[in-house]
Every structure is written in C-alpha cells, then in structure tokens.
Amino acid sequence: MTNAERRERRREAALKGAATRKARAQVGTQPAEPFAGPRPARMDLLRRAVALGIKGERAFWRRVQEIRASHRPADWTAGQVVALDALLTAWEAKKP
C-alpha cells in the first residue's frame, strides 16, 4: 500500500468518524419531555423503602442500579423518581 492510499483511507475513516460523532450529538441534544404529574420527594422514596424492611431496601437500591440512577438521590431525574415511585407502590401493594 502506498503512502497516498494510506492517507486516503485515513481521511475516509476520519470523515466517517466525524459524521458519526455529529449524528450522536444531534440525538443527545433533544430535550426530554417534562413530567406533568406530581413527583414524590426523593427522601420519601428512601423512607418508604426502609419501611418495607431490609429486603425491600436492598431490592430498592438494586433497582436504582438497574435503571442506572446515581447512588445520590439528589442526582435522580424526574423519570427515575417516577419509576422508583411506581416500583415502591407495587411492592407496598404486595406486602400483607
């Protein structure tokens, strides 16, 4: 392979990479839909998980990790808070 061919292949790869980065950046900049309903307080979610017992609290934190939420409740997004609230509501309904 000659130097000119190498340069051409590198240039094509660079252009392809730039196009991919541009496409990914455009997808990530779309605003998320705002949540219209009432959101529970993050600390209330933690209190409800503790009230379910140690298994409930452990399962709650495992679920937090599964939805890739932060371990800090202050960093949870509105969608994550709503998902965790729904989870706790379902667990509370199952508890005798």
The full DSSP string for 2-71 is -HHHHHHHHHHHHHHHHHHHHHHHHHHTSPPPPP-S----HHHHHHHHHHT-HHHHHHHHHHHHHTT--S
What single DSSP character describes residue 69? -
- CA–CA–CA angle 91, 93, 96 (5° rounding): 100
Q: What pLDDT was estimated at residue 82?
A: 86
- Whether the pLDDT of residue 37 is over 80: the answer is no
Asked if residue 57 has pLDDT above 90, the reply is no
Same domain, 50 and 75: yes
Confidence of residue 96 (pLDDT cuts 50, 70, 90): low
Tell me the pLDDT of the chain averaged across its residues: 83
**Residue carrying the six token digits 């790869």:** 13
Domain count within the chain: 2
In a domain, 35, yes or no: no
CA angle 29, 34, 38 (to 5 degrees): 155
Give mean pLDDT, residues 76-94.
86
Q: What is the mean pLDDT of residues 58-83?
A: 86
* Same domain flag for 89 and 63: yes
Residue predicted with more confidence, 34 or 89: 89
Provide mean pLDDT across the span 33-62: 79
Residues 47 and 11 in one domain: no
Side-chain half-sphere CA neighbours of 79 within 13 A: 6
Whole-number pLDDT of residue 50: 87
The parent domain of residue 71 ranges over 42-94
